[in-house]
Structure 1
Amino acid sequence: MFGHGLKLMKIDLLEDLYEDINTQELPLSKKGLRRCIRAIARSRDYLEQGVLGLNGMISTVSPVGR
C-alpha cells in the first residue's frame, strides 16, 4: 500500500499538523486528519515497519547487567 519508502511517524506529529491547519487556514477538519493518521498507524505495513525497526534496535543493544 505504501511502497518501500515508509518511515515511522515522529512523536507529536498530529499536533504539528493541527498547527499547520490553523496557521495556513487549510480546509481540513482535525477529526478527518486524526482519522487518516490513525488509519495509517494501524495499517499492517506501518506496524510491520515498527517491528522491523525495533528488531534492529534490539540486536544492537547489549543486555543490562552484562
Structure 2
Amino acid sequence: MLILTEATRGVVLRESGAKALPRSTSASIMLLCQTIVMAQNAVDAQELKKLQDQRIASTSTSLSEIEIIR
C-alpha cells in the first residue's frame, strides 16, 4: 500500500486499485507526516547536542592534564 497526499487531495494505491481519500483525511495525514519530521529533527538536534557536550568534556579533560610551562 502507498499513500500519496498533498494536504488537499490524497489517494491510497494498492495492488487491487486506487482509492481517493476524503479531503479531511488527506489533511490529517499531511499534518501527521509533518509532526513526525519535526519530532525526528528534534531528536537529531538533541543527539547532536549530546555529542557536542561529550566532545567539549573530553577536550576540557585533555587540556587540564597538560602541565603548565613556566
Larger RCO, structures 1/2 (Cα 8 Å, 6+ apart): 1
Greater share of residues in strand:
2
Rg comparison, structure with higher value: 2
TM bin (shorter chain) = 0.3 to 0.5
- Could you tell me the TM-score, scaled by structure 2's length? 0.36
Give me the TM-score of the superposition, normalised by structure 1.
0.38
